[in-house]
Amino acid sequence: MLPRAVKPVARHGTAVVCAALIGAMALGSCFAASERPLKIVALGDSLTAGYGLPAEAAFPVKLERALTAKKFAVEIANAGVSGDTASDGLARLDWSVPEGTDAVILELGGNDALRGIDPELTHAALETILRRLQQRRIAVLLVGMRAPRNMGANYVRAFDAIFPDLAAACGPVFYPFFLDGIATDPALNQPDGLHPTAAGVDAIVARLLPKAEELIARARKERAF
């Protein structure tokens, strides 16, 4: 009679062991997924590309370095193209932001203002970018720009309103002005007065870092789903 009593116990023990192994493997997979570096694309113009600077001094590189120093596992791709308008960024959105991207830093619009492009066109292009990224469940940090003050009060008013309006309508993480604290400071800008020096990029990264951390938190939340 003893073997008959032992066999079902053995089968039960095997089942428990198998279940434990399967659970451990599943848990390990979850951990592996959570530990994969977040893939972030910085989609922008010359301010993102690092115009006039060595590659290692560009904004995406320095931001990745700053986040890594704070123990965030991230990889930031530089998708900045000098001279791009918001419409140019929209035209290349699909190949600039490939599948597997977790988050985007959207920095476009400065060239629109410099060229006097109708703010309604800029607004429409940026809104389309935001909506398409939302459809792909990609978290976005929208970086605002401001029109040059010599463009006239009406233009300045219409252009400057683009970014807070989009932030309210689309709900991205929002940083109002990419060049905050940098613009017009000769010590932090190249001779053209438009593009930051390496020290200027450092100042931008330091100011924007809390919003980048907020972007990471949002991207992680999206990944969990």
Per-residue pLDDT reduced to its tens digit, 206-223: 999 999 999 999 999 987
Q: Is the pLDDT of residue 34 over 80?
A: no
What average pLDDT score do residues 82-95 get? Answer: 98
Band (pLDDT 50/70/90 cuts) for residue 18 is very low
- Count how many domains the chain has: 2
Specify whether 160 is catalytic: no
Give the active site residue among 45, 112, 160, 195: 195
Closest CA to 105 of 51, 43, 165: 43
Q: Give yes or no: residues 6 and 103 share one domain.
A: no
Q: Which helix (H) or strand (E) holds 68?
A: helix 59-69
**Same-domain check for residues 54 and 43:** yes
What's the mean pLDDT in 34-57?
Answer: 94
CATH (domain of 215)? 3.40.50.1110
82 catalytic residue (yes or no): no
Does residue 41 share a domain with residue 21? Answer: no
Active site residue 29: no
Domain co-membership, 11 together with 97: no
Q: Which of 46, 102, 112, 160 is catalytic?
A: 46
Q: What is the pLDDT of residues 142-153, one digit of tens each?
A: 999 999 999 999
Domain region containing 157 = 37-224
With CA atoms as reference, report the closest residue to 202 among 215, 188, 214. 188
Q: At residue 88, does pLDDT exceed 60? A: yes
Same domain, 30 and 49: no
* Shared domain check, 57 and 9: no
In this structure, are 91 and 173 located in the same domain? yes
pLDDT tens for 176-186 read: 999 999 999 99
Token pair 């400071």 is at which residue?
185
pTM for the whole structure: 0.84
Verify that 29 and 67 share a domain, yes or no.
no
Q: Which residue has the higher pLDDT, 199 or 26?
A: 199
- Catalytic one of 34, 45, 192, 202: 192
